[in-house]
Structures are given as C-alpha cells and as structure tokens.
Amino acid sequence: MIIYLDESKKILEEKIVFWWFISYNKHQFIQKLVTKKKMNYWFSEKLELKWTKDTWKKFFERMTKDIDFKFMNGNLLWAYIIWYDKDSVESYVQCILYIISRIYNKLKDYDWKMQIYADKMNLWSTSQVEKIITRKIKEEFPTKNKITFYFKWSENNCWVQLADLISYQMRLCNINGAEMDAFLSKNSLNLDLGQKFKITKKT
C-alpha cells in the first residue's frame, strides 16, 4: 500500500489541511495516467498541475468526470489542523501519526506493507526527518510488515502533484468553507468537515 501526502496551508490563520491518497497501484501506473491525461486535457506533460490557478482548476474539473480516475474511489483521507508550526519536526510528526491512526484499525489485522511519500520540504535535513518519522510510526503502530516514509520532489512525480491538487481542493472545503465537490464526497473516507485536530502551540 502506498500513501501520497501533501498539505495546503493558511499560515497567517494558523490552519492547515493534510490530504492523503491511499493507493494499491504502483508509481508507474499513476505517473503514466496523469501524464497521459495532461496531454489529453491539452496541458504540457511537463507542467505541474498547480502551476497556475487555471491549470489546476481545469485539470480538476476534467478529472472529476473521467472514469479513468475511479481507482481513487474511497481512498481520500484528510485532516484539518487548526495550528501547525511549519518549522517544527515534532508538529509535523504529530500530524502524520494522527492521520495514520485513522486508518490503522482497518488495516492492522491484514498483511500490509506501507510506503508514505510526501512533497519534499527544504526546512530540515530530509533524510534525518525520514528516519525520525519512520521510527515513530513503527513505535506507534506495530506491524510485522515494513513501514517507510520518504520525501519526494513534486516537479517530476505526477503522484505527488495529484496529492498537491487534491489537498488544495480539500483546503477550499475545510478551511474556506467551499461546497464539497461531488468527486471528493464520493471518494473520501471521512466526510466530517467539522472535525479538527489540535496541536498545542508552544510558548
């Protein structure tokens, strides 16, 4: 099982939405599909989905009507966090552990190998943070199978771009109060838009 993660923030309001997409498909499947759809939807295959507002909006609108994206059914997971320190590794780890807790009970009785991929940040030594997060996950959620966490650049990875696109849509719903899109409603694992995860702000 692979989980793709991204986040969408309103820093001044100290709000953030994390979005996860659970996939049982390989990277190559999503990479080829999104690249193909970029060309079908009249975008450059090298263009990131959220490069401009019009780009992500048009792609999302086309995607929601495209049956080739049915593999996303029931696999969207999000968390609305009312405070988040972007410079804090501890806060970031708390967010990740919280979201995994929302799916762990459904998966712990199965044989599962989990890989988590997040959009790369320039805030920390990413290799060190990858190790910290992987260790914390293993401590908090024991399983006989391997769990690993990685950062990846979105520039060349369509699966990270897809997470980026959806995370923004979830922010519009959760933070901005926009109407929930039918595509998101159909594919989401958790639709309680009022549920918030609180991280205590350090003084």
pLDDT recorded at residue 144: 63
State how far the Cα of 49 lies from the Cα of 56, in Å rounded to an integer: 5
Residue 167 has pLDDT above 70, yes or no: yes
Q: pLDDT tens across 100-156, in order?
A: 887 777 666 666 677 888 887 766 677 888 999 899 988 888 776 678 888 888 777
pLDDT, tens only, 47-74:
777 666 677 888 899 999 999 998 888 8
**pLDDT at 50 (0 to 100):** 65
pLDDT of residue 108: 67
Concatenated DSSP letters of 27-59: HHHHHHHHHHHHHHTT--TTS-TTSSHHHHHHH
Tell me the per-residue pLDDT of 3-54, one tens digit each, with 9 for 90 and over: 878 888 777 777 788 777 777 777 888 889 988 998 888 777 677 776 666 7
Determine the angle formed by the axes of helices 27-40 and 53-63, rounding to 10 degrees. 110
Are 35 and 103 in contact by the 8 Å Cβ rule? The answer is no
